[in-house]
Chain A
């Protein structure tokens, strides 16, 4: 046996060499023989890691298993999801409310798992909305979006939702500087330098229930804030943001924001900012933003419009903020596990600068500044620099870390992942990706406790990698084994939307906390029907409330008469099952919304405005038992002036056999 294995390994090795030898340009065919075994998770077995992947322009978050690449779930966050009624049901509509009204879509870029002492604790995952600036919190016991908070004074919420090492704060830095919300924004666009500001929000997170609030905002010079990461360990209490467009261009940024040799990493002493706020500093600014929270007891969300935020102008508080020059439009801004090194990735630079937190502190103490930028001290580049990784590749974007002192950086332009040593700043290995990777992810790779087994690169371009599907192709993820000296590609699979940042954690951190169903006794929904005896149909003016239950395999009531054209009908459906994996669905003909998927013990509401007189069937959409096809009913809609009384029943509306119903 072992002899055969050795022989086959030898042969496989030979093969790789000969294949590479023949076709050096097409390394995609050179996946080594054990790749399938390394990513194979046998049917019925679980993956090692939960992998949370941003959905980009889908607005949602996908959940994959690693190393299999199995798609486990898509969690709707910022976009409506007719598949389960998110954003359509009366209970979830408030989640997508904003100061602009109901927004059914957004662009979801980055995710960050909550941490305790710099290690992933698996309680929540935070997600940003780029377009209409918001931050969401997803509860990892239910995989429901629990909260969405809008951000005033912001536009293009890109450097978000990165967290501090005990989840004290989630940050949100604006990518597009704009005039503050309480100023007259009707100004010429080319007055950017005078009238525009860049705002960083610090969002507090309640330790027990996770509730988010804007603790304070920092008003900063108008630049584009791109990405960020918190300090940790030795740099605890600081936050680092990459900035581009320090040219302050307002048009053709491609050229005009690429002029300066160096832009900035902005270092923020957030502990000091929190103390200043505690001491009553900052000014109260009148704004308007939505705070939307979902309550698992009522299975309902509420949206509250808030009207005030505390803002500190950073130039008024010396010592709060410093700029560090960073070559050529830095994108990624990543802090190593000890917190000592801050890696800036100048996307147009041919090197990777690594800054030292100790040197930054020394430079501040020595006032080693090269000048000021809009009233903020700019530290001398060499005074903050630990060193540069020379010739790493083209277009460095993002860096993550393993548990052995190595860093891994994606190269967008040269389509590769480059592994380098943090201490010596030497490139150790490089491996091609297909093609143009944006973010990359190592489980725990931005925490104090990274792992060293897998790395996933998220690619923007996939042409010629999969069967073609017309002009629009999926983006992709590529999984690498990084446990050895050489990175090894072991799996390649398409993703939903456009994946940007991702997170992953050992399955055990989340698996056992997963909610299986909601206890019917704890259901506090005002329209819940706890048992079939509690079902009814009630008219309130032109509103009809149907209190309905679903259990395998009937809906109660399933015959409803006396609805009149002009009525608004609310189907409040309670799933009274109390077992795992028995959702019921609800849909009615002609509804111009979506369907409902109702989990065991949950109540959800579909609003239906009938548009014609007649009979409208409704049914369960989620195959629930051998008698699922029987799980249906009828609603009768009469003319507006009809005298047909309101009635409802299940199992008792049958005429006597062979008789003609009396009118």
Chain B
């Protein structure tokens, strides 16, 4: 009697487990398939010059907006200066000298506001991560903070 009970416990447990397992497996598979297709769809449309984020085009003009650059410098001192120098020297992240010549304005705006997504996807951001090994933190910049920072970077690169 006892043996029979033990047997049926194992049997029943086995069946229940396998039922559940297959249930979860199929759900997970669906999810995996979904994300893969999402990736496939995303890959061809990814624009490495623009990056990914809310900024499509950023028209900066030829001259500097000194008000915006001033506001950007304030944000830099609180949220960025801990890791980025204004020279070409790498601290935690790369120095900012020349950054506006290496990247399009919209790429910069997207990267500093949508950091995690771009670190996961953008070839240039990923190459930089391999050098620095610290994922740039999302510093939760408001749109105007990001625009100010871009202007401050331009000023740092000699735009007048």
Contacts and interface: CB of A to CB of B under 8 A. Distances in A.
Interface string A530-572: 1111100000000000000101111010000000000000000
B26 to A, nearest CB: 11
A626 B133 contact: yes
Interface in B1-47: 2, 5, 8-9, 11-13, 15-16, 19-20, 24
Interface stretch (B52-60, B64-72, B99-107, B134-142): B134-142
B81 interface: yes
Contact of A551 (B13, B19, B82): B82
Interface in A1-28: 1, 4-5, 7-8, 11-12, 14-15, 18-19, 22
Nearest to B4: A18
Contacts of A19: 5
A68 to B, nearest CB: 15
Contacts of B5: 15, 18-19, 22
B127 interface: no
Contact of B137 (A34, A552, A626, A651): A552
Interface string A510-531: 0000000101110000000011
Interface string B118-146: 00000000000000011101111100000
A513 to B, nearest CB: 17
B8 A554 contact: no
Given A15-B9, A551-B137, A627-B134, A532 B82 contact: yes
A384 interface: no
A553 B134 contact: yes
A34 B20 CA distance: 10
Given A4-B19, A15-B5, A15-B9, A579 B137 contact: yes
Interface in A236-255: none
A309 B133 CA distance: 60
B117 interface: no
Contacts of B138: 578-579
B15 A551 contact: no
Contacts of B83: 551-552
Interface residues on B, range: 20 to 34
Contacts of A42: 24
B133 A8 contact: no
B79 interface: yes
A625 interface: yes
Contact of B81 (A15, A22, A521, A532): A532
A534 B9 CA distance: 67
A626 B134 contact: yes
Interface of B: 2, 5, 8-9, 11-13, 15-16, 19-20, 24, 77-79, 81-83, 91-92, 133-135, 137-141
Given A517-B140, A531-B77, A579-B140, 16 more contacts: A1-B19, A5-B19, A8-B19, A11-B8, A11-B12, A11-B15, A14-B8, A15-B9, A521-B78, A531-B78, A551-B83, A577-B139, A578-B79, A578-B139, A579-B139, A651-B91
16 contacts: A8-B12, A8-B16, A12-B12, A12-B16, A19-B5, A34-B16, A531-B77, A532-B81, A532-B82, A549-B82, A551-B92, A553-B92, A579-B138, A625-B133, A625-B134, A651-B91
What are the 3 A-B residue pairs with the smallest beta carbon separation, nearest first?
A531-B78, A11-B12, A551-B82
